Amino acid sequence: MATQTVQPETQQRSATGGGFTRALLRRRELSIVLVTIAAFLYFSLGSYGSAFNTSNNYHIIMQYFAPWAIIGAGETMLLICGEIDLSAGFTFTFVPFVFMSFYNTGLNVPASLVLAILVAMGIGLINGLIRTWFNLSSFITTLGMGFFLEGMTYIQSNAEPAKPPITGTLGNLLGGWQWSELVWALLIIIVMQVALSYTKYGVYAQAAGGNPLSAAESGIKVNWVKVSTFMLTSLFAGLAGLVDQIRVGSFDPTSGGSNMMFLAVASSVIGGTALLGGSGTVVGALFGAVLLGIIENGFTLTGVNAYAFDVVIGVAVVAAMLLNVYISSLRRRYLR
């Protein structure tokens, strides 16, 4: 019998809608990019456009979304690994006061910064080790860590704000220059998207979240992948806390917190990363954050009640999730 190479059941079923539909299905962040552009055009061309289209206002939008995007880059990788970090917003608040504690002992600024960053990564290390050694869900582990860090922040700060003693070039790099926070956000998003799409780490993260058993059978060190991703997320959260509050000019014990964390996770989810693990997009988290920033700013300018913003986020998260589920079912059907 001759070898059959073409079997009828394996012939290609292509997407019917042509190139654009295929692209929409293939690039999971494309839909959120389109929605973000639409939201921008809506406020930019609307009756409040003259107030919206100023560099000052763009800067206000940036202040909203930059920390969400920076933390969202870490949360996205964690969600892809099948994990979540509920303590990231509290790390954001805590790390600047860790810096102050080191600085107040007489250490200089660079040394205090390095130690504060190491403490930030240590928070992720502890989250990750508790998660993997004791097989405790990351939801519980990081919930506990969140409360712990909130308490520690108040203890260290005496619930009082502190003035950041970081000036000069280092200060400008870390938030002093008005657009530096945007540069950090873009840099971290690009680096993490490249890590996800073009390095072994990205493949391992997807395998660890998609099918941990298969990943382990293939020799991938699943726990190590998860622990290092927890560490990255805490690092980004601590860095965002420093940069954002150096920009403001005050380390504030009431900044960040659960609101910051929820908005970072919301940015990831709206951007197209599923909570189930196995797949996602870091660039999507950036656009998710930008979309939320534009909406919050647009509502303020147009005089919509500020409470309506939370209503919109609530609807947007659920709608984005439904859209994700729908798009992945389409993807399964047509991209074979």
Asked whether position 16 contacts other proteins by CB under 8 A, the answer is: no
Nearest CB to other proteins, comparing residues 11 and 305: 11
Q: What is the DSSP letter of 172?
A: I
Site for other proteins in 81-110 (CB under 8 A): none
CA dist., res. 265 & res. 260, Å (int): 9
Stretch that binds other proteins, among 44-52, 107-115, 212-220, 284-292 (CB under 8 A): 212-220
Q: How far is the CB of 215 from other proteins (least distance, A)?
A: 7
Q: How far is the CB of 9 from other proteins (least distance, A)?
A: 7
> In Å, how far are 25, 127, 331 from 230, measured between CA atoms?
30, 7, 30
Q: If you search the block for the tokens 């989810």, which residue do you land on?
A: 269
Alpha helices in 211-305 (DSSP H): 212-217, 222-248, 257-270, 282-302
Nearest CB to other proteins, comparing residues 65 and 204: 204
- For other proteins, the binding residue among 217, 303, 305, 307 (CB under 8 A) is 217
Site for other proteins in 252-291 (CB under 8 A): 278-279
Asked whether position 21 contacts other proteins by CB under 8 A, the answer is: no
Asked whether position 11 contacts other proteins by CB under 8 A, the answer is: yes
Amino acid letter, residue 210: G
Asked whether position 329 contacts other proteins by CB under 8 A, the answer is: no
What count of Cα atoms within 13 Å lies in the side-chain half-sphere of residue 328?
12
DSSP per residue over 146-179, as a string? HHHHHHHHHHHHTT--B-----HHHHIIIIISTT
Asked whether position 13 contacts other proteins by CB under 8 A, the answer is: yes
Site for other proteins in 177-206 (CB under 8 A): 198-200, 202-204, 206
- For other proteins, the binding residue among 62, 185, 220, 235 (CB under 8 A) is 220
- For other proteins, the binding residue among 4, 135, 158, 305 (CB under 8 A) is 4
Which helix or strand (DSSP H or E) is residue 275 part of? none
Q: How many CB atoms lie within 10 A of CB 173?
A: 15
* Of the candidates 270, 195, 262, the residue with the CA atom closest to the CA atom of residue 34: 270
Nearest CB to other proteins, comparing residues 59 and 200: 200
Residues 6+ apart with CB under 8 A from 214: 207
The CA radius of gyration of the chain, in Å to the nearest whole number, is 21
Nearest CB to other proteins, comparing residues 175 and 202: 202
CA dist., res. 97 & res. 167, Å (int): 17
Stretch that binds other proteins, among 5-13, 50-58, 84-92, 161-169 (CB under 8 A): 5-13
- For other proteins, the binding residue among 133, 191, 318, 336 (CB under 8 A) is 336
- Tell me which residues touch other proteins (CB under 8 A): 1, 3-7, 9-13, 198-200, 202-204, 206-207, 209-211, 213-215, 217-220, 278-279, 331-333, 335-336
